[in-house]
Amino acid sequence: MTSIKITVDSPPVLAVLQQLLGVTTPAGMAPAMKEIGDSLVESTIRRFETGTGPDGSPWKPLKPGTVKAK
């Protein structure tokens, strides 16, 4: 089984997750976690398509050897 660990360092996000956990069981959070995961996948795909980082800054251009290898 593959797993990942995500660390959240955002008080507003942590507050919402704590609130959600307060009204459901850990297993009941699965749909919310799936939505969060799907959103992360989509944003990562968009960053590859646009060549930008999470903060919106453009990626450095590929080196000529990398372009040639593609």
Residue 37 inside a domain? The answer is yes
Residue 15 inside a domain? The answer is yes
**Residue-level pLDDT at 38:** 94
Residue 25 inside a domain? The answer is yes
* 33-61 per-position pLDDT tens digit: 899 889 999 999 999 999 999 899 999 99
pTM for the complete prediction? 0.62
Helical segments of the chain, H only: 11-23, 30-50, 64-69
> How many domains does the structure of the chain reveal?
1
Pair 14, 8: CB distance under 8 Å? yes
Residue 61 inside a domain? The answer is no
pLDDT at residue 64 tops 90: no
Angle at 40 (CA atoms; ends 37, 44), nearest 5 degrees:
145
